[in-house]
Amino acid sequence: MDRKFAILGDIHANLEALTAVVEDARRRGVTDFVSVGDVVGYNASPSECIKLVRELGCVTVRGNHDHYCSYNESLDDFQPLAASVIAWTRRQLTEDDVKWLHDLPFHKACGGFTLVHSTLDMPDRWGYVFDTLAAEANFSYQMTALCFHGHTHVPMIYEKQQEITRIEPCKTKITFGKKYFINVGSVGQPRDGDSRSAYVLYGAKTKELEFVRVVYDVQAAMEKNMRAGLPERLALRLAQGR
């Protein structure tokens, strides 16, 4: 049987989006769920999203929001909006939630591929990859043909043979002799101008990748954010996909 993976990224405490993605993935015959991190942050259901991710047996690596919500480190260097939400999220988490986030690894190999939130060269520095130059350092540390990441909330393929090529999201067959660094986009806060949730399907036997978009109840997620007292901007950006 071909193991079929749903690779999730940047769920960011959006339970409405996560639930819709899980339902869609199950309809498509997914056997395994994995996550490139940032289960919490920005939205109003951090503990509920942790619970669902754990129930799925979802192999998960640590994102920057997961880190700062479970390590009592100073937020002085953070942009004020992000700092306020991290402080709010810390107050919502149970001791068990915090321990689970605290224990997440920075990167992990599973299913014949690697997971990381940002980059493999400095996974604890949370660097952003928006171009081939930024992707180049990661490839030097990538030991598997395929590595999935997130952090920018923008789906993208970086392919390396002799040179590195940046490819817009598309259905892709993994080719022997090449390496791929795949940004899976965001379940809970897309930033590519499309408000639908994003995730990636990967067949371990077929070696095929598919980028998937899922409609979810954005209005319900926005209203939940507002009721929680989170900044209005965070609710509005869900509808904008920004």
CATH tag, 4-240: 3.60.21.10
3 phi, psi to nearest 5 deg: -70, 130
Structure confidence at residue 78 (pLDDT): 76
φ and ψ at residue 52, rounded to 5 degrees: -65, -40
Instruction: Kindly report, residue by residue over 174-221, the tens digit of the pLDDT.
Output: 999 999 999 999 999 999 999 999 999 999 999 999 999 999 999 999
20-29, 59-68, 77-86, 139-148: the lowest-pLDDT one? 77-86
Contacts for 78 with CB less than 8 Å, ≥ 6 apart: 68, 86
Question: For residue 63, how many C-alpha atoms fall within 13 Å in the half-sphere facing its CB?
Answer: 27
Within 8 A by CB and 6+ apart from 133, the residues are none
Residue 99 has pLDDT above 90, yes or no: yes
> Considering the chain, what is the average pLDDT of its residues?
96
**In which band, very low, low, confident or very high, does the pLDDT at 79 lie, cut at 50, 70 and 90?**
confident
Which tokens is 109 given?
A: 């190999």
